Structure 1
Amino acid sequence: MTTDEAQAVIDRVTFAGDGLLPAIIQQEGTKDVLMLGYMNAEALRRTLTEGRVTFWSRSRQEYWRKGDTSGNRQYVRAAALDCDADALLVTVEQHGPACHTGAHACFDVDPLDPVIGHSDD
């Protein structure tokens, strides 16, 4: 995607009050949900134009690309905004674990035991 095309997407996005957009990262092929991160307009532009997922770190207040320190990179394969343009789904080719704990996905770390709903309720 060109910079101009990325800007047209950014102009459509509904960023939260803090200027961030939640980005759900999904593995290509398996469709596993790997992690959730946040992007501001610049991180979204970089993700759409550079082919690597870039986030905005809320705790460190800086940009970071998955894998720059760990080697567990995420290469963009597809991206889609949700119907309200206030959340992003990025499909990636994941190299190594996605979670900083070493787990395959961040959602593998703390599974819960909710009551299971039934369609006849």
Structure 2
Amino acid sequence: LRVQEIRSYEEPTRIANAPSFIKGVVNLRGVIVPVVDLRIKLGCDKVEYNGFTVVIVLNVHGRVVGAVVDSVSDVLELAGELIKPAPEMNTNVDTSFITGIASVGERMLILMDIEALMSSSDMGLMGAGQRLQ
């Protein structure tokens, strides 16, 4: 429900001293949009920019943010009974934004609360009044 559009990846303008997962900013029809590479943010081993790489433009708490992903293959509607709770993990990694896991055919999908992820303090994208409490 937060997705505004899906765009092909274009190299953003870098921001000095930004964390590595914040790739920079792009001008989207007059709006300056920060671009976050979710693959880097989520610790993926392989981050490749190719013809399939896209930016999902999101509206989170009234702020427009771009999220770089490998590709978009499907848009699915999941019945509630397909969604299972995320497993508890004793790690130092924040997994509070993972809302559940679903199996669709042979694929396992990890469902995320994109507002919680983009509003986390380490992202630095939302103002203090816009963060989730």
TM-score, length basis structure 1: 0.24
The structure whose residues are more often helix, as a share, is 1
TM-score, length basis structure 2: 0.22
